[in-house]
Structure 1
Amino acid sequence: MGEATYTDKMGVKHVLVILTGIMITLGCSALVFSTWSAFQAVVPEVLGVETATWAFYVTVLYFVEALSAPFIGRLFAKYDIRVVLSASAILVGGGFLLISVFKSMWVFYIAGAMMGLAEVGLLWLAVPALCNSWFNQKAGTIQGLCMAFTGIGGALWLQVFNALYASGNGMDVWSIYMVWGLIALVTSLPFTIFCIRKTPQEAGVLPYGRPSVATGGKAVGISASKAMKSPVFYAVFLFAGIINLLTIVAQQFPSYTKSLTDVTFDALAVGVMMSTVMMVAQAVCKLALGVSADKSPKISFFAAFATGVIGVLLVWFGTGSEIMLYAGSAVYGFFFASCVVLVPIVVRQIFGTREYTDIYSRISLFVNLLGGLGSTIWAFIGGSFGYPAVFTVALVLLVVVLLLGMYSFANAKSVQKEWTE
Structure 2
Amino acid sequence: MLTLAAAHSLTHFYIAWIIIGICQPIAITLSIPVLLSNWFNQKLGTVMGISLGLSAFGGTIFNPIIADIITKFGWRGGFIAEGLLIGLILMPLAASIRPNPDEKHPAYGTTTKSESNSLLNGITLKEALHQPVFYALAFAMLALQFVSGSVQHISGHITNLGISPVLAASVVSGVMIGAAVGKISIGYFLDKLSPILVLLVYSLFGILGWSGQIFLTNSTLLTISAFILGLGQGVCLVALPYLIQKQFGEKDYSNILSVINMLGAFAMSLSVYLVGLFFDQTHSYNLGWTINVIAYILSFIAIFITLRKKA
Q: How high is the TM-score relative to the length of structure 2? A: 0.92
Q: Distance in 2 between matches of 1:134 and 1:206?
A: 8
Q: Distance in 1 between matches of 2:293 and 2:146?
A: 12
Deviations 1:335-371 (A, max 9, x none): 1232221110010111111110010100011000001
Aligned to 1:336: 233
- The 5-angstrom pairing of residues 197-212 of structure 1 reads 197-201=98-102, 204-211=104-111
CA contact (8 A) 2:34 2:254 kept: yes
CA contact (8 A) 1:254 1:270 kept: no
- The 5-angstrom pairing of residues 400-415 of structure 1 reads 400-413=298-311
Compared CA separation, residues 298 and 205, structure 1 to 2 (3 A):
same
Q: Secondary structure at the match of 2:237?
A: coil
2:130 matched to 1:232? no
Match of 1:323 among 208, 211, 220: 220
Aligned to 2:182: 285
Compared CA separation, residues 360 and 193, structure 1 to 2 (3 A):
same
Query: Structure 2: any 5+ residue segments left out of the alignment?
Result: none
Aligned to 1:172: 74
Aligned to 1:100: 5
Compared CA separation, residues 190 and 268, structure 1 to 2 (3 A):
closer
Q: Distance in 2 between matches of 1:362 and 1:229?
A: 14
CA contact (8 A) 1:140 1:291 kept: yes
Match of 1:109 among 7, 10, 14: 14
Q: Distance in 2 between matches of 1:165 and 1:205?
A: 43
CA contact (8 A) 1:245 1:370 kept: yes
How far does residue 214 in structure 1 lie from its aligned partner after superposition? 4.8
Q: Distance in 2 between matches of 1:383 and 1:407?
A: 37
Name the aligned partner's letter for residue 309 of structure 2.
Answer: N
Q: Distance in 2 between matches of 1:199 and 1:408?
A: 31
CA contact (8 A) 1:247 1:335 kept: no
How far does residue 331 in structure 1 lie from its aligned partner after superposition? 0.5
Compared CA separation, residues 411 and 156, structure 1 to 2 (3 A):
same
2:93 matched to 1:188? no
Q: Distance in 2 between matches of 1:412 and 1:131?
A: 25
Name the aligned partner's letter for residue 99 of structure 2.
Answer: K
Residues paired across the two proteins, number: 307
Match of 1:305 among 196, 200, 203: 203
CA contact (8 A) 2:52 2:238 kept: yes
Aligned to 1:25: none
Q: Distance in 1 between matches of 2:53 and 2:26?
A: 17
How far does residue 216 in structure 1 lie from its aligned partner after superposition? 4.0
Q: Distance in 2 between matches of 1:112 and 1:223?
A: 32
Name the aligned partner's letter for residue 242 of structure 1.
Answer: A
Name the aligned partner's letter for residue 207 of structure 1.
Answer: A
Name the aligned partner's letter for residue 90 of structure 2.
Answer: S
Match of 2:264 among 367, 389, 396: 367
Aligned to 1:246: 147
Match of 2:274 among 377, 380, 396: 377
Runs of 4+ displaced beyond 4 Å? none
- The 5-angstrom pairing of residues 266-281 of structure 1 reads 266-281=163-178
Larger Rg: 1
Q: Distance in 1 between matches of 2:50 and 2:249?
A: 22
Q: Secondary structure at the match of 1:353?
A: coil
How far does residue 323 in structure 1 lie from its aligned partner after superposition? 2.0
CA contact (8 A) 1:253 1:272 kept: no
Name the aligned partner's letter for residue 235 of structure 1.
Answer: A
Q: How high is the TM-score relative to the length of structure 1? A: 0.69
CA contact (8 A) 1:315 1:324 kept: no
CA contact (8 A) 1:236 1:408 kept: no
Q: Secondary structure at the match of 1:206?
A: coil
Percent identity of equivalent pairs: 21
2:27 matched to 1:126? no
Aligned to 1:14: none
Match of 2:294 among 377, 396, 405: 396
Q: Secondary structure at the match of 1:187?
A: helix
Q: Secondary structure at the match of 2:304?
A: helix
Task: Provide the aligned C-alpha RMSD in A.
Answer: 1.9
